[in-house]
Structure 1
Amino acid sequence: MATAPQAGGLADVVFDHAEEDPHRVALGRKADGRWTDVSAAQFRDEVLALAKGLLAEGVRFGDRVAIMSRTRYEWTLFDFALWSIGAQPVPVYATSSAEQVFWMLYDSEVTACVVEHEDHAMTIGSVIDRLPHLKRLWQLDDNAVGELVAAGAHVDDEVVERHRRAVTPDSVATIIYTSGTTGRPKGCVITHANLMFEADTMVTRWEPVFHSKRGDEASTLLFLPLAHVFGRMVEVATIRGRVKLGHQPEMAARALLPDLVVFRPTFILAVPYVFEKVFNAARRRAEGDGKAGPFDKAVEIAVRYAEAMEHKAFGIGPGPSATLRMQHQFFEKVVYAKVRDAMGGRVRHAMSGGSGMARRLGLFFAGAGVTIYEGYGLTETTAASTANPPEQTRYGTVGQPIPGCTVHIADDGEVWVHGANVFSGYLNSPKETDAVLNEGWLSTGDLGALDEDGYLTITGRKKEIIVTSGGKSVSPGVLEERVRAHPLVAQCLVVGNDRPYIAALVTLDQEAVDHWLSMHGKPPLSAAALVRDPDLETEVRRAVVAANTLVSQAESIRTFRILAHQFSEEHGLLTPSLKLKRRAIETAYSEEVDALYR
């Protein structure tokens, strides 16, 4: 088990690794469409040079510097350069609105800001008159790194060393803002100790799954937003764990899948959305080739095979039968290997977090040769508090508490967490901090249950519980997740507060719909015509009926409305981490919601 660090800070490992093994490949960097290797020594030199430039430009110990960018190599470079001088990066989503940017930069009193491109610079510029502490702005696509390195050329290396030695585990490492599903984002104060404990625990306990086979070089392609705590933890864990790290700025399949094929990671860390996309793309490809039947059979065999292996791991079954093993082997080359090839060909393990994954999807991937370890955590817990252990994965749960962490279920079903990964509080918000922290225990706001083996299942959010006019309490998450499992469905929002019954708003996955129209010999339809198509409505109704089998009649979805457009972050209906903003959606679609009850 990893222990809470007693000395030093996050940047130390960069210098230590360069000293111990300077030629080891630490990162992969993509430039002009080509990947090149970055050694431990080269990364150390770049971090040091940038740190000197930051000092030369006036960044001081304890200063906060915002980073507004997609996931790219330079973000990691800035993180470790800032940590080298005791400064505190404040991550900002690349898609944040001007008002969101203003609040985060104002609340955290940032003195400088790094942006990716001119559009981001203009966003900052639109609110800069309300940011009295902001003095400097650098743009990555306008040679920010080169300019800073040149500015710091005269600074002695020892100046950075003095700053780095002054960093202690309880020093603040970063301020990460919550996604703001229920109001204004809050700044979570995360220390160097929080991140080091979290990263080292994940590396120590899960290191065997970083490899595709014994003895190979571990590598991963990071495509999660570095503004999110999950992506940030991956960044730190890979550097500390000597895992080759590459960056990909887009999670969209069209950009991500080609880089997975070229980079060929040995494991990946993602949100369920990515695995759903991989699965649905494989299903559409098979259907387009006239092989939907064999693909569906392969899925069924994979699920049964993985379930038999799961039972064996827990001592409640003998494992796959001889017949099942033969069927599984038959589909290995024709289906399962192709699914793995879409992720680069070497991935045998993956970790998933951020939202719940359907048990059946996890079983399919396990049966197809990619075991996905689902976990659970919050910004306040520096990412994972629980995760499925490598030797005993229970699909459909978020696993057991990670080593050094404790989980308790309160009388009202709320999940409480205790451990060295729990944050120190919300910035400038003592009352809100006191509301969630009690003698080191964090009340998460999530509802859950622990089984007899200590595996946690998340059942919903306290603030999202719907109470119908008849007094029935309904947790919408389980219904929404099941409806969304249908390949044609992009999003589902269950409604019914103070209403006589439960209903739902559903949006469509356009790529899947285009494929469905083609396979059914239908012409392309406008969005308005599409939502009125009776065959499409029948398909969505199947998803709703499937979801209703999970709950009682009083909790079931009685009616639904298909919407012409997806909920988007641009319109304020999603958080940057793609969570639904329930109140905002119900307000924006109030007429549609009212129509469900007429």
Structure 2
Amino acid sequence: MSANQTPKPHPGPKPSATASPNTPHSPTLAHLTERAADQWPQAPALRWREPDGTLHHLTFAEAHTAAEEIARGLMALGLAPGDRIAVQSRLRPEWTLLLLAAASSGLVLVSLLPTTVPEEIAHVLNDCDAKAVICEDADQLAKVEAARPRIPGLRQVLVMDEVAGRDDPPLTLARLRAAGEHAVTPAALARRRASVRPDDLLVIIYTSGTTGPKKGCALSHGNYVAVLAAHPSPPRSPLASPDASNGTIFVVTGPHTIALLMQLLTWWSGYTLSWFQGGSADEMAAELQAARPSIVPLVPLALENIYRAVLAAHPAERHPQLLDAARTGLRVRELRAAGQPVPDDLQEWFERTDRTLFAEVRERFGGNLRRATVSGAPVSRDILTFFVGCGLPLVECYGMTETAAAATSNTPDDNRIGTVGKPLPGVEVAIADDGEVLIKGANVFHGYWGYDEGEFGTVRDGWLHTGDLGAIDAEGYLHLTGRKKELVQLSNGMAVTPHPFERELRAHPLISQAVLYGEARPHLVALITLDARQAADWASARGLPTDVPALVRSPELLDEIRDAVERANGGLQEYFRARAFHVLDRDLSADAGELTVSLKVARPVVHTRFRDLFESLYD
């Protein structure tokens, strides 16, 4: 599509009409806790396990009271509508309550992952001009305090957990709630709530760009309402107790894009929210099974871990039989869905296998699953086939932080494996002439905080230019084929830019190039090349071989490069760090197509040419 052409869109179904503020289709989320407390007062909204193993929950009525008290406390601090408050914490009840409090009081929540380092804290809080930050505990507080001299606009630092042993303990959320009860009336909060409009911002989520520092995606109440309204209403038995939830959502990721949407969906549709407390893959699998969820959003890495656990439960010699059984199971399910006959012997086999092997696989997800989604990075078709063949309602979907986490999706009843589905209701998808995926809809963000979108150009004529490459088939399913951007999408769903690490390494005199790799892998690895002249001088001074092929095998050289990698890693969040590296025995070459005319790394060429080498670093 050229600049003056209008793309031919593939629209999703029409969204339902917007209704009044106290209906499920409110134009804002300011009334979210109030409506949920009215509809499901004693149903469990949040369920979590404390470190001592005890299980706790908050009802929708209790959560509404807590969120209201926090909102009044934040107002008592003098925070005005539109002010930004940052939260640096793992996902826990207080995180959710702060999100809901911000929604009802017109504040804008800024998410900081608990792995964020002081340098990034200073950048984010200065960039969004945050007035307050809420830290999870003493460790997070220490990082914020290390950055605070560089954050002149920050007025207040609070903590979720009491910090002992300090002469000047910071304000806790408990004391904030108590202060709000006395300083701000419920009527004042009601007036603030009534003033919230659909275009008002709800969150700013900082994501990696292709170059430079992180940019903040500014997302409004209306963006999220558009996505939530597209979610089908959960089935509910007419005999169900009014104090029962509509099922459980189990979140395995940290408090970022997908988890944020799932928290809002909990209050929108009356689910119970539970989440992975952290730990090993085995612990995650055990918590998932115990939660017996109805909905599970997964990143590919989590799905791959479950897949490996399923296979590990059987002798290796049986693995080909298991995979073949799942493929056959998928064929039977497809015949049934198409209304075609299934041969009697195949039907008998299927029913027997569905009660045994397939049921065992479904039980890994708790045996109560209505929908599992996977997004954030490419997923192996074989893994998808395995789970769907075993009867899991597993579907691929697609979205970005810039689209409030969602844009297209398959459904359990309309699932085209190998695609990311069709546009959600109210969303249009088109493909530009260069293959880039374009998205238009009420879910598309307002732009990056602090950038003029008219100049920045991520959204042009209402179309979000995603940086992803794709195609739409004749039936309207979106196939993703690659990425225009140089973001690396890890298998845990995190999108990271390679530039900060590479830039730091290239500052070392011995290093000419550093190329990160990690698309759909659990972490980053690096290919490093040497500046031949600098390396020869360095080696000669130490009595080492001066030719590069011999030098790269020298323990002294490898120790020097290892130190450089550790220094580069030290100032970066963990997802941006390289965990392994290889020093190539030659430099990259423009003649070989590894460098562009302007001597930039031709990343696709390097990744393809050295793929086996990169992959060997994961062994």
Q: TM-score, normalised by structure 1?
A: 0.75
What displacement does 1:241 show?
A: 0.8
Preserved CA contact (<8 Å) 1:188 1:423: yes
Counterpart of 2:333, as a letter, is M
The 1:194/1:329 distance shift into structure 2, 3 A limit, reads: same
Aligned pair partner of 2:86 in 62, 66, 82:
66
What displacement does 1:178 show?
A: 1.3
For 1:45, the equivalent position in structure 2 comes to 65
The 1:304/1:153 distance shift into structure 2, 3 A limit, reads: same
For 1:370, the equivalent position in structure 2 comes to 392
Q: Secondary structure at 2:357's aligned position in 1? A: helix
The whole-number CA distance in structure 1 between the counterparts of 2:444 and 2:566 is 31
Preserved CA contact (<8 Å) 1:4 1:193: no
For 1:450, the equivalent position in structure 2 comes to 472
The whole-number CA distance in structure 2 between the counterparts of 1:435 and 1:92 is 26
Equivalent runs, 1:529-548 vs 2, <5 Å: none
Q: Secondary structure at 1:95's aligned position in 2? A: coil
Counterpart of 1:427, as a letter, is W
What displacement does 1:156 show?
A: 1.7
The whole-number CA distance in structure 1 between the counterparts of 2:447 and 2:214 is 13
The 1:276/1:375 distance shift into structure 2, 3 A limit, reads: same
The 1:265/1:59 distance shift into structure 2, 3 A limit, reads: same
Q: Secondary structure at 1:360's aligned position in 2? A: helix
* Alignment of 1:142 onto 2:167: no
The whole-number CA distance in structure 2 between the counterparts of 1:173 and 1:159 is 20
Per-residue CA deviation, residues 454-506 of structure 1 (Å, 9 max, x unaligned), is: 111111111349xxxxxxxxxx99xx99xx9xxxxxxxx9xxxxxxxx99889
For 2:401, the equivalent position in structure 1 comes to 379
The 1:506/1:457 distance shift into structure 2, 3 A limit, reads: closer
What displacement does 1:15 show?
A: 0.5
Q: Secondary structure at 2:373's aligned position in 1? A: strand
The whole-number CA distance in structure 1 between the counterparts of 2:181 and 2:138 is 26
For 1:253, the equivalent position in structure 2 comes to 281
Counterpart of 1:74, as a letter, is E
| Matched residue count | 500
For 2:557, the equivalent position in structure 1 comes to none
* Alignment of 1:120 onto 2:140: yes
For 1:26, the equivalent position in structure 2 comes to 45
The 1:586/1:269 distance shift into structure 2, 3 A limit, reads: closer
The whole-number CA distance in structure 1 between the counterparts of 2:369 and 2:29 is 28
For 1:325, the equivalent position in structure 2 comes to 347
The 1:433/1:66 distance shift into structure 2, 3 A limit, reads: farther
The whole-number CA distance in structure 1 between the counterparts of 2:104 and 2:196 is 8
Aligned pair partner of 1:296 in 312, 317, 320:
320
The 1:387/1:509 distance shift into structure 2, 3 A limit, reads: closer
Equivalent runs, 1:261-276 vs 2, <5 Å: 261-276=289-304
Preserved CA contact (<8 Å) 1:398 1:457: yes
What displacement does 1:346 show?
A: 2.0
Identity within the alignment, %: 31
Aligned pair partner of 2:483 in 455, 461, 464:
461
Preserved CA contact (<8 Å) 1:6 1:169: no
The whole-number CA distance in structure 1 between the counterparts of 2:433 and 2:17 is 30
The 1:455/1:150 distance shift into structure 2, 3 A limit, reads: same
Equivalent runs, 1:586-597 vs 2, <5 Å: 589=582, 591=584
Moved more, 333-342 or 405-414: 333-342
Counterpart of 1:175, as a letter, is I
Counterpart of 2:584, as a letter, is E
For 2:540, the equivalent position in structure 1 comes to none
Unaligned runs of 5+ in 1: 466-475, 485-492, 494-501, 511-563
Counterpart of 1:265, as a letter, is P
Moved more, 329-338 or 33-42: 329-338
Moved more, 426-435 or 64-73: 426-435
The whole-number CA distance in structure 2 between the counterparts of 1:390 and 1:25 is 26
* Alignment of 1:224 onto 2:253: yes
The whole-number CA distance in structure 1 between the counterparts of 2:236 and 2:568 is 37
For 2:119, the equivalent position in structure 1 comes to 99
For 1:285, the equivalent position in structure 2 comes to 313
What displacement does 1:593 show?
A: 8.4
For 1:514, the equivalent position in structure 2 comes to none
Counterpart of 1:120, as a letter, is Q
For 2:426, the equivalent position in structure 1 comes to 404
Aligned pair partner of 1:184 in 213, 230, 247:
213
For 1:80, the equivalent position in structure 2 comes to 100
Q: Secondary structure at 2:414's aligned position in 1? A: coil
Larger helix proportion of the pair = 1
Structure with greater Cα Rg: 2
Q: Secondary structure at 1:75's aligned position in 2? A: helix
Q: CA RMSD in A?
A: 3.8
The whole-number CA distance in structure 1 between the counterparts of 2:475 and 2:586 is 41
Q: TM-score, normalised by structure 2?
A: 0.72
The whole-number CA distance in structure 1 between the counterparts of 2:519 and 2:263 is 35
Preserved CA contact (<8 Å) 2:375 2:398: yes
Preserved CA contact (<8 Å) 2:117 2:572: no
What displacement does 1:224 show?
A: 1.9
Per-residue CA deviation, residues 273-307 of structure 1 (Å, 9 max, x unaligned), is: 11110110121221xxxx33334312221123214
Moved more, 424-433 or 168-177: 424-433
What displacement does 1:320 show?
A: 5.1
Counterpart of 1:17, as a letter, is A
What displacement does 1:103 show?
A: 1.2
Preserved CA contact (<8 Å) 1:295 1:335: no
What displacement does 1:114 show?
A: 0.9
For 1:498, the equivalent position in structure 2 comes to none
Q: Which has the higher contact order (CA 8 A, sep 6+)?
A: 2
Equivalent runs, 1:396-435 vs 2, <5 Å: 396-430=418-452, 434-435=456-457
The whole-number CA distance in structure 1 between the counterparts of 2:454 and 2:376 is 23
Aligned pair partner of 2:411 in 375, 379, 389:
389
Preserved CA contact (<8 Å) 1:279 1:339: no
Preserved CA contact (<8 Å) 2:46 2:57: yes
Per-residue CA deviation, residues 408-429 of structure 1 (Å, 9 max, x unaligned), is: 0111100000000000111111
What displacement does 1:88 show?
A: 0.6
The 1:66/1:97 distance shift into structure 2, 3 A limit, reads: same
Preserved CA contact (<8 Å) 2:104 2:192: yes
Counterpart of 1:148, as a letter, is L
